[in-house]
Every structure is written in structure tokens, then in C-alpha cells.
Amino acid sequence: MGNNTAVKQALKANPVPSSVDPQEVHKWLQDFTWDFKSKTAKYPTKYDMDVNTREQFKLTAKEYARMESSKEERQYGTLLDGLDRLDAGNKVHPKWGEVMKLVANFLETGEYGAISGSALLWDTAQSPEQRNGYLAQVIDEIRHVNQTAYVNYYYGKHYYDPAGHTNMRQLRAINPLYPGVKRAFGEGFLAGDAVESSINLQLVAEACFTNPLIVSLTEWAAANGDEITPTVFLSIETDELRHMANGYQTIVSIMNNPETMKYLQTDLDNAFWTQHKFLTPFVGVALEYGSKYKVEPWVKSWNRWVYEDWAGIWLGRLQQFGVKSPKCLPDAKKDAVWAHHDLALLALALWPLTGIRMELPDQQAMEWFEANYPGWYNHYGKIYDEWRAAGFEDPKSGFCGALWLMERGHGIFVDHASGLPFCPSLAKSSVNARFAEYNGKRYSFSEPHGERQWLLEPERYEFQNFFEQFEGWELSDLVKAAGGVRSDGKTLMAQPHLRDTDMWTLDDLKRINLTIPDPMKILNWQPIQ
Amino acid sequence: MSSNVFIRGMVDPERQAQIQALVPKAPLETKRDHIPFAKRGWRRLTEYEAVMLHAQNSLDAIPGSQEVGETVQKWPGGRGSYSIESTAAISSNWFNFRDPSKRWFQPYVKQKTEEGQTAERAMKAWVEGGDTGMMNTAWLNQILSKHYGAMIFNEYGLFSAHSTTTYGALSDLLKTWISQAAFDKNDAGQMIQMQRVLLGKAFPGFDPSLVEAKQAWTQGEVWKPAREFVEHIWADTYDWVEQLWAMHAVYDHIFGQFVRREFFQRIAGLHGDTLTPVIQFQALTYHQQAADGVSAFCLKHLIDDEPVYGQHNRRYLHAWTGKYLPQVEKALKAFLAIYKEVPVKVDGVTCRAGVQAGVERVVNGWADRFAEPIGYKFNRNAFVKNVMAGY
Amino acid sequence: MNNINGYNSGTNALSGQSFIDEFLDERNSALPTSESVVLALMKTEEIEAVIDEMIRPQMEDNPTIALEDRGGYWWIKANGKIVIDCDEATEILGKKYTVYDLLVNVSTTVGRAMTLGNQFIITNELLGLETKVDSVY
Amino acid sequence: MSKLTWYSSPVRDEWAEKINAIKTVSEGIAMLADFRKNHTGPDRTTYELKKEYNWIEARIEMRLNQLHAEATLSDDDLLNKTIDGRCAKEVAAEWMKKAEDIDCHYEMEKLCVAFRKACKPPMMSVNFLAPAERVLVAKLMKLRAAVFLTKSIDELRTARGVTMISVQ
């Protein structure tokens, strides 16, 4: 490497006279700014970002465009030529083709949030190289919205069940899981201190969780017959490494200043928990419950990508500069084993609101779950067997998992910090429920880290949860209003099985006779003495 | 060494047989229109709309949004992630905006790549074809070194001002267009420096560093009012519609157009500089696209197509124009002092009458395009006369 | 051959309850420190050549390099640093191949990645804290 | 207006009517101030409009904003004064001054919430609101960060006056 640098240095002394290397332009960027009286970050922040921080990839706008254009040509060329001729849309296992309706759209929400999150950092960063890097990220995130949308768009044109792929941007409004992604991605990336947002977006979501969400998910896709998603997602991820570097340099830009470094640990702990709280269960559900053909247990991917590599290579190496282990890490690890099983139970219980077709785990899947998560059958498998027997799939049964749970005293609540539903009496993850009354309103929390976030910053968490917003709606009316019905005007887009027979209609849903309740109102709540 | 043999479901016969057994004979749904709820009129959504429209997750406090309820997490202090407080302009449906250039990511980077390749070839031809020999040394050392370099700061400052416009914009297709306009500004600054690095290679005495240019920008009289405008719009202005209007529809359409088109494009050739016009041509294109976008947004979306708040928005655009036009006038007036430094004087071009004709071209162009539609009246002759006092 | 960086090495070599017990063990509940870096390269025409001609030969000198076929991409993990010189790749491929062309297919990195002239570098050094972000210009 | 989306409710229709009936800026200011006091923020007096409050608040703001711009005032006043005619810069400075001596995050939180209720557009233009909020909220975040991970949950509950409840 030393020799090579020497060659480059020689080139510098005798430059090619008729062309300019992008990095020759990049080296002047730090001189593009100037000082003036009112110059400051325009959004509230605890930090002062160093004006001298560098950017690691040294791209100019034009070279960025050339590189990205090449990515686009390859990606759309594959989709529109190669995969089109292979009829790729109809080679996908339905379990996977269905879960991609949610995965592509939920990830799109993250990419969209990241546009504003990167704009926030572009404003707060003072170093021109960093600002240039963040602007490229803004544009990247537009690319990623376009790409994730294109997965739905492509599936909508080529897959045998376009319903839901075409209109998830509408259906998600009633999906009880959607506030979870809104909080982590749609708002955690952009509504708060720029550095806190950067840790959420770049250091945790991108540097940590996009590896399993975007990279290893492509293995599951390919195993299940989907070559569309790998074509797009692997190309998305080629931008993420620059974003990870952006996030890392955000930390570098504040680390040498003890005055601001003292705030870092709080933001790191909060951001890790905020992102983990949604991503650990969601990715696990998508991979393990959205696939027929399994690749490796989610908890093993989590151990590799999140714990050993991300925590070890990124955070572990920063310990010498004062970064400490997030206090929530042991709870996060427990969640890595069980939280996705907890969430899957609720997703299946609430299937009419998800907009996709899903099925209970079959015998083969149940054996796989038990082998990799010993104890799974006795806790979850038994319930699924009982649901199956009670007519879970049968449109004439009037069966609904959510009602089954409630009738047996297993209440479903919404965590007021993460926005996600939880069932305290059936959770095997780190759930440790607590309920509070404050200023005349009741709140539910699934664990102490979220409760702490609310107790310290109540004005940040004022949302109406699913039950509060739709209390009093009859289930089939709600699904219909939100666009969850097929073009025959009666068959539901969501289904509790994958067959093309016995499909549920609005009438079947009406038979369940469920009017959305607000558990915080109907149950008999008492103060704890 | 591989720990597993990877099985691809698409080509593995066993898996594909299982999958095909589950694929229904006829599609389960015949309607394949994307985002059907957003369909306007008879037509299906274009690709430009399909990949972006309604991607924004936002509370329904923002008119036109599909979501219901409140954001889950807000800023400390209670500010929402997207909220109508970010501008004084009002829309009945923020999601109705469309960029006339219909650029989503793919066409955007494709176009920019082509421009990059054009510039690369032009620079090569310029150096190798012998054009450098024609360059007037005083133009090179006085104007390109100092004032052309100072223009980088103008573009960089305007690019920086777009952070709040990108963050604050209230719908997806608005954010797309605005961040592209920002990227163009960043690019415009970098292209000037790219040209200056090349000049440093072609002319041994030319220093591509920005020391002299920064001095001209921060301390020189030629750029002072322009710099004050840029600083104000970057650091002191938070209303993103006001920023967009002030930057693209007022400042850049008068001052920017004059500096790029009437000065550098026109005067460079007189000095044997055939390269600057090629590079600046791109910046002119970027401004054209930004002007088209701001016109589609402010004049069409916020006024012509706005059923309830058109008059309201017109009032604000009017007030903002009144707020910024005097500063733009000052900027242009101060800039005209640059003609004292121009080495080659040509009658009809650099003389008072020639310069005044240029000022009139930009002022008339601006008045027709942006002042008339909002009913903004001003005395063009007085404006030109005041500006010409700087000559 | 037992590579400490192998895809299923360490805790991930276990399965079922023994994996979960080890994963949740108190010893494994605080931040670990790792000297490795990870790279995922999307499978393409050019990347296959980079893997065969540039990565595999490095494995002879550096036994910590692990290489794994993950369907759509190659997964690489190594201690210290991985350098891919795109001038060399240009020679191998017989066409102009800049570091930014390589980046078209670099799907992810764990560690500090940067470009240095026409080289791509992924390192466990803390750039900007322990070492400077270098430039050839 | 509510018909523009799939979600509508009688409460929204009722409020839309009330809002359309406002004809003067002063009526609008009174309605908005009252609405914000009672229905927004963690210190609101009632949660009865919880489902719809942010929709309703936005519609009052839009109507009031519109009435303000229609009123006969100079451009300079439109851009630089608060809706009730005070110098916006001075008003913002007063709020920042109030924050100077505060060193408790609960107090700072109250101030930030009160500032938003009093000054959020169209009460004051965002060009004056945002820079003041930048200063206030930065201070709030710094005060909170110092204790965020260290104060016990019990301490935090007590300080807030939170009652823990359970289902019987």
C-alpha cells in the first residue's frame, strides 16, 4: 500500500493535464464555507459539530451521479429485462410474496424518514465535507424510497396477487404494527436532536440493523424464489456504507469535545432501544414467519450482525473513548430470542388489519421453531394448534385470534413509547408491563426503558394509539374504509390462509362481531397501593 | 469452507414445484393500478408519481395526507416531525404538487451523469485542442481566480440554505424536487472548482486555492450585498416557502441570471475563455429547472390550482418579494463594479449601454415570469437606474 | 480449517438450547470488542473477478480472512484491514474500473471504510480518532 | 375538508363548521388560544378531543392564518409582528430571557410547552418562533440528558405525579 501511495503522490506532482479526478475537487471542499455572525445550526441540538471533520468517501456531485447511475442501470436492467423474461413475479412462494407487501412498504417509511433526518444533519454539521456527504445521503434516501416503492410496484404488476402491493401506502393507516415503524423510522430518524437522530438513523438503524434487514433478508428472499428483492435491496445497501461512515463521523465530530461528549451515552442508549424495539421483532417476524424455506434462526443472525459485529466492531472499539455498554443490552438480547414470536402471535391475531395473506405455522415450521427455540411449541405452538382447530382459516367460523385472547384474559395493549402492541400475559420477551395514570389519562408501557423515555419527555409522546383512534369502529367497516377490499367489492385483501378458495369477505369479517374497544377504558383499573 | 449450500427457490426444481402448486391459475386480483386511491382523473399514475407519491407518513393535520392521528414521537418541546407551522403558505392538499421535469431518482442521476461526461470531454478537448493559448492572462488572474471563485460561495451558501427547505417541505414530491435543486446548487459550486483545478493544471501560474476568492466574497464590495442575502436566507430564514421563493424566484432569477448569463457567459469569450460558458451552461440549466419547479409550486400549485387559499398565498409571495427585491437590487448594483476590472472592453457589450441592456433583459425576464403573475408592481426603470449606478 | 472469523464460528457454531444459553450468558451481555472488519460484495461479473483474483490470493497470507457464499452476495470477514486496489482490478478486468465503480457493488461494511485514490479500504482503525482520514491529493 | 380523506367523523364536521364561522382575527386568536390551552400538550385540561385534536388545531391555524393575511395591515407588519400586533423579535427575546435562570428540566419543559402554545404560527411567524425554540429546546435537552439515565423510575414517577394502576 505504501508503494501505491507513492505512485499517487508522483501523479500529483505530474498530473494528467487534461482531466480532473473527483478527489482533486473534493480536497478543496473544506474551504467552501465561511464564518458569519448568524451562522448556526437551525434546529435545537446539544452538540457542536466540529467544522474540521472529514468525510471518508470523497465523492463529488458528478461522480456520485455517475456511480449511482451505474447502479440504476444494472438494477432496472435486471428487473425489466432479465427478471421480466424469467417471469420472476410468479416464481415466488406466496408466504414470501405476501410478507414483502409489508417489508417493502415499511422500509420505504424508513427511507422517507431518512430524507429529512439527513437534511437535519446536513443543517447541523458544520464541516463542508460532512454537509456534502449528508446531502448525498438525502438524495440516496430518495433513491431508496423509489426503490422500495418499486419492489411493491413491480410485484403489483407481475405477481399473482397485486392486492396490497398496489396500495399499502393506504392500508398501513389501520395496521396496528405501522405506528411501530413510524416511531422508529418515520420519526426517530428526524424528530429530535440531530446527533440523536444520527445515532438512530446511521449508527443503529443503518450500521446495525440494515445488515440483517437489507442484506441477510436477501438470502431468505432468494431461498423462497424471490430474485426481485435481492436485485433491489443489495443495491440499496451499496449506499448504506456511506451512511454508516456519515454516522461514524458524526460521532467523531463531537467526540473530541468533552463539553458535548457527555451527552452521547444518553442518546446512544435511547437510540439503540428505540430502533431495537421495532426492528428486532419486525425483522424476525418477516424472516421466520414470512418464509417457507428457512435460512438460519433470526437470533443467530442477530448474534452475528448486531452483537458480535456491530457492537464489537463499532461500539466496542469506541469504549476507549468513553462509550459504555447500553444498559438495555441484556434485555435486547432476550428480545432477540423471543420478541418476534410475541409479535407474530399478535400479527396473526390481528390479521384482518394487516392487508396481507398469512397463515399459521405448518407442521414443518413448528418443528423448525421448536428445534431452534426450545420451548416454542408449549408456549406458542399449542395456541396455533388450538386456533387451527377452532376455524382460524375458515371464513364461516367467525373466529378471531384477538377475541380468543381477550376472552381468556390475555389483554392486548399498545406501548405508549414504541407504538407497538403487546400482550403482557403471553410475552416471553423482555416485556415487563406497567400502567400509569397521568393528568387524567391512562398509559401502558411494555417495559421500563420506554416508560423512562415517556417520564422524561412526555410532550414527545402524545399520539393516539390504534385503540384510541379507532375505538367504536366495527372491524369490517374499518377495513373497507381503509381500502382493504378487492375489486369485487367484498373479498378481503388480507386473508388467514394462502389458498385461492375459501377467501374471507366483508360479511365473514362482520360475523366475528368485533367493535374495536379501548382496553384502557373498558377494563377495571385500580391504583396500585 | 462454505457452511451451507445455497438453494435458490427460483431455480431449484423441488422448491419451484412446491411453489407452483400454490400459484393460482388466475391472478387473485385483476386490478394492478398503483396507488389507486391517488388516481387523478382518467389516467394511471406515471412512474414518477408511483415511486414517490404518498410515501410520506404524516399525520392528517397536513392537508392531503393519508394517515390518521398524531405522530408517535415528536421533538423535545413538542414540535411534530412534519407540521404546517413550517411555512406561512397554506395548501388544501400538499400532495398535489408535481415537478414539471418529473424527475425521480433514476432520470435525475442519469441526466447529471450525462452532464458530467459532457463536461469531462469538453475539458479534455479544451486543454488538448489548444484553446488554452487564447486565454487572456488578466481575465484568468483577476476574474477567474478571484470572482469566479467567489461564485462558489454563492452556490455553496444557497445549497446550504436548502437544508431547511428539504426538511420542512410537506409532501413527498415536493421534497424530491427541492433536494434535487439543492444537489444542483452543490454541484454548481463544485463544477466551478473543478474548472479552477483544471486551470491550475493548464496554467502553471494559476492557483486553484480559494484564499483570494474567499477574501473577495467575505470582504470585497462587489459581492457584499449578495453575501448578505445568502447569509440571511441560509441562517436567518426558517419559512421554507419563503426561502424557495426568495432564492429561486427572486434572487437567482435576477442576480444569478445576470452573473452567470450576462457576465460570465457573455464576457468570457471576449477574453479567449471558451471553457467557462460550457461549465456555466449547466448551472443555467439547473436554474431553469429550479425556476420551472418554483413556478409550478408557488404560482400553479399555491395560487392557480388552490381552491381556498390562493389569495392568501399570493399575499405572502407579494410580501416576500417586497422584502427581498431591494436586497437583490443592491446585490446587482454592487456586482456591476466588476466591469471596472474587466480587461477587454468591447463597445456594445461592456459599455454602459451594453450592460444596461443586460440588466434590462434579466429584470424584464423576471417581471414577466414572477412579478406579473402575483400582481407585484414595481418601477422597472427606477430599478434599472438604481442598479446602473453601480456601473 | 477453523477460522475465528468463519461464518458459523464461536457462539453461532452451537445450536438449539446450547446456542441460546451461550447467547444469553452474562459473559455475553456487555459490549464485546472486536478487531475484525466485515464486507459484503454483491455478486456481479466484476466482483467474481475481484473475489477470485484479489481476495482469495490474500487468504494465503492472512488466515483470518473468511469468505462465504451467501446467495446474492459474498460475505468476507477478516482481522485488521482489507484493501482492494482498483488500479489492479482495472488490469484484471481489462477495462477502466475506478474505486467508485467498485462501490456500485459493495453492499455493506462493518468497520471504517474509505476511498484513498483508487483504493478501497476497510479497516478496524478508528479513522479521525486514532488515525487521520488520508487523501492522496 | 374532512371528506378529502377516507377518515371523517361528526366531531370534525362540527368543528369545521365552527371554524368556518370565524370571521375576524380576534375571534380566531381567542378560539386558538383556548383550544391549545384545553386540548393540546401534556398539560391539557381534557382529553375529550384526543382523537381529533391535531386535525382541529391545524384547521383553526389555517383559518386564522388566512384571516390574518386578509386583514388590512402592511407587509412589514404581516411579516414582523405577532398576530396581535407586537414586535415578534421582542416577544421571542422575552421568552428566551425567561429561560436564562432555569436550571431544572421540569421547569424548562413547562416553559417550552407554554412557548409553543403561545407562539406557534400563526400567532408568530416561524421565522421568529424557530430560532427562539432552537435556543429553548437545546437547553431543555441538555438539562434532561444530564439525568436521563441516572434518575430512578420511582423518582421520575413521583416528580410527575404519576399514579401506577393495574387491572383488577
pLDDT at residue number B41: 60
User: Which among B33, B163, B218 has CB closest to A122?
Assistant: B163
Among B42-46, B272-276, C17-21, D19-23, the range scoring the smallest mean pLDDT is B42-46
The CA distance from B78 to B74, in Å, is 6
CB contact under 8 A, C68 and B8: no
Query: Does residue C25 sit at the A interface (CB-CB below 8 Å)?
Result: no
Chain B nearest C-alpha distance from C71 (Å) = 6
DSSP strand pairing (A441-445 vs C36-42) = unpaired
Chain A nearest C-alpha distance from C131 (Å) = 12
Residue B273 within a domain: yes
Determine the residue among A266, A437, A520 to mutate to test chain D binding: the one whose Cβ has the most chain D Cβ atoms within 10 Å: A266
Q: Residue B158 is part of which domain span?
A: 116-388
Q: Which residues of B touch A135 (CB under 8 A)?
A: 159, 179, 182-183, 186
Architecture of domain C34-123: Alpha-Beta Complex (3.90)
CB contact under 8 A, D51 and A468: yes
- Which helix (H) or strand (E) covers residue D165, if one does? strand D163-167
pLDDT of D3 > 70? The answer is no
Tens digits of residue pLDDT in A150-176: 999 999 999 999 999 999 999 999 999
Residue A515 within a domain: no
Q: Is A206 a catalytic residue?
A: yes
Chain C nearest C-alpha distance from A147 (Å) = 15
DSSP A485: B
At B354, which CATH number? 1.10.620.20
Determine the residue among C7, C43, C64, C96 to mutate to test chain B binding: the one whose Cβ has the most chain B Cβ atoms within 10 Å: C7
Active-site hit among A55, A68, A108, A111:
A111
Q: Is A437 a catalytic residue?
A: no
Q: Is A141 a catalytic residue?
A: yes
Q: What is the mean pLDDT of residues A397-414?
A: 96
State the ipTM, two decimals: 0.96
Residue A460 within a domain: no
Residue A370 within a domain: no
User: Which among C31, C115, C134 has CB closest to A57?
Assistant: C115
Tens digits of residue pLDDT in C61-94: 899 999 999 988 999 999 999 999 999 999 999 9
Question: Helices B172-202 and B105-128 sit at what angle, rounded to 10 degrees?
Answer: 10
pLDDT at residue number B1: 37
pLDDT at residue number B3: 46
In D121-160, the residues whose Cβ lies within 8 Å of chain B are 121-122, 125-127, 129-131, 133, 136-137, 140-141, 144
Chains that touch D (3 or more CB pairs under 8 A): A, B
Determine the residue among A33, A132, A146, A181 to mutate to test chain B binding: the one whose Cβ has the most chain B Cβ atoms within 10 Å: A146
Q: Read off the C-alpha cell for A292.
A: 417457507
Q: Which residues of C touch A53 (CB under 8 A)?
A: 128
The average confidence (pLDDT) of chain D is 95
For A492, B61, C37, D4, D52, the CA distances from D8, given in Å and listed in that order, are 22, 13, 53, 9, 10
Q: Among B391, B379, B378, B386, which residue's Cα sits nearest to residue B330?
A: B386
CB contact under 8 A, A44 and B18: no
Q: Residue A148 is part of which domain span?
A: 23-30+44-338
Q: Which residues of C touch A235 (CB under 8 A)?
A: 42
pLDDT tens, N- to C-terminus, chain B (391 residues): 344 578 999 999 999 999 999 999 999 999 999 998 886 666 778 999 999 999 999 888 999 998 888 899 999 999 998 999 999 999 999 999 999 999 999 999 999 999 999 999 999 999 999 999 999 999 999 999 999 999 999 999 999 999 999 999 999 999 999 999 999 999 999 999 999 999 999 999 999 999 999 999 999 999 999 999 999 999 999 999 999 999 999 999 999 999 999 999 999 999 999 999 999 999 999 999 999 999 999 999 999 999 999 999 999 999 999 999 999 999 999 999 999 999 999 999 999 999 999 999 999 999 999 999 999 999 999 999 999 999 9
Determine the residue among B66, B67, B68, B85 to mutate to test chain D binding: the one whose Cβ has the most chain D Cβ atoms within 10 Å: B85
Q: Is A144 a catalytic residue?
A: yes
CB contact under 8 A, B84 and D116: no
CB atoms inside a 10 Å sphere around CB B376: 18
Q: Which residue has the cell 426503558?
A: A449
- What chain D residue is nearest to A471 in terms of C-alpha separation? D51
Residue A154 within a domain: yes
DSSP D28: H
pLDDT at residue number A484: 97
pLDDT at residue number A7: 56
pLDDT at residue number A10: 57
- Which helix (H) or strand (E) covers residue A317, if one does? helix A316-318
pLDDT at residue number A2: 43
Chain D nearest C-alpha distance from B98 (Å) = 19
pLDDT at residue number D2: 43
The CA distance from B195 to B140, in Å, is 12
Active-site hit among A26, A93, A158, A243:
A243
pLDDT at residue number D1: 42
Chain B nearest C-alpha distance from C67 (Å) = 8
Count of domains in chain A? Answer: 1
Q: Among B360, B147, B178, B330, which residue's Cα sits nearest to residue B251?
A: B330
Q: What is the mean pLDDT of residues A231-243?
A: 93
Residue A160 within a domain: yes
Q: How confident is the model at residue C3 (pLDDT cuts 50, 70, 90)?
A: confident
In B3-42, the residues whose Cβ lies within 8 Å of chain C are 3, 6, 8
Q: Which residue has the cell 467498485?
A: C102
For A47, A72, A145, A149, A236, the CA distances from A232, given in Å and listed in that order, are 36, 9, 11, 10, 6
Q: What is the mean pLDDT of residues A105-123?
A: 97
Chains that touch C (3 or more CB pairs under 8 A): A, B
Q: Is A462 a catalytic residue?
A: no
Chains D, C in contact: 3+ Cβ pairs under 8 A? no
The CA distance from A149 to A169, in Å, is 10
Domain ranges for chain C: 34-123
In A498-517, the residues whose Cβ lies within 8 Å of chain D are none
Chain D nearest C-alpha distance from A339 (Å) = 23
Query: Does residue D138 sit at the A interface (CB-CB below 8 Å)?
Result: yes
At A264, which CATH number? 1.10.620.20
Tens digits of residue pLDDT in A428-461: 999 999 999 999 999 999 999 999 999 999 999 9
pLDDT of D141 > 60? The answer is yes
Residue A350 within a domain: no
Q: How confident is the model at residue C108 (pLDDT cuts 50, 70, 90)?
A: very high
Tens digits of residue pLDDT in A48-65: 999 999 999 999 999 999
- C-alpha atoms less than 13 angstroms from C-alpha of D29 in its C-beta half-sphere: 12
Chain B nearest C-alpha distance from C68 (Å) = 6
- Do you find a cis peptide bond into D122, omega within 30 degrees of 0? yes
Tens digits of residue pLDDT in A469-527: 999 999 999 999 999 999 999 999 999 999 999 999 999 999 999 999 999 998 899 99
CB contact under 8 A, D43 and A438: no
Active-site hit among A108, A206, A359, A451:
A206
pLDDT at residue number A164: 96
Q: Are A322 and A261 in contact (CB under 8 A)?
A: yes
- The residues near B213 (Cβ < 8 Å, ≥ 6 apart) are B145, B146, B147, B148, B149, B150, B152, B153
Q: Which residues of A touch D50 (CB under 8 A)?
A: 441, 464, 468
- What chain B residue is nearest to C5 in terms of C-alpha separation? B1
Q: Read off the C-alpha cell for C39.
A: 464486507
Please, where are the H alpha helices in A207-263? 210, 217-223, 228-255, 258-261
Tens digits of residue pLDDT in D42-67: 999 999 999 999 999 999 999 999 99
The average confidence (pLDDT) of chain A is 94
CB contact under 8 A, C68 and B2: yes
Chain B nearest C-alpha distance from D59 (Å) = 8
Q: C-alpha angle C8/C13/C17, rounded to 5°?
A: 135
Tens digits of residue pLDDT in D67-98: 999 998 999 999 999 999 999 999 999 999 99
Residue A56 within a domain: yes
Query: Does residue B57 sit at the D interface (CB-CB below 8 Å)?
Result: no
Q: Tell me how far apart the terminal alpha carbons of chain B are, to the nearest angstrom.
A: 76
DSSP B70: -
- What chain A residue is nearest to B31 in terms of C-alpha separation? A487
User: Which among A76, A139, A500 has CB closest to B28?
Assistant: A500
Count of domains in chain B? Answer: 1
Is the C-alpha dihedral spanning A72, A77, A79, A83 positive or negative? negative
CB contact under 8 A, C133 and A23: no
For A13, A45, A142, A305, B54, the CA distances from A112, given in Å and listed in that order, are 44, 22, 7, 24, 10
Tens digits of residue pLDDT in A357-396: 999 999 999 999 999 999 999 999 999 999 999 999 999 9
Is the C-alpha dihedral spanning D25, D27, D30, D33 positive or negative? negative
Residue A311 within a domain: yes
pLDDT at residue number B43: 74
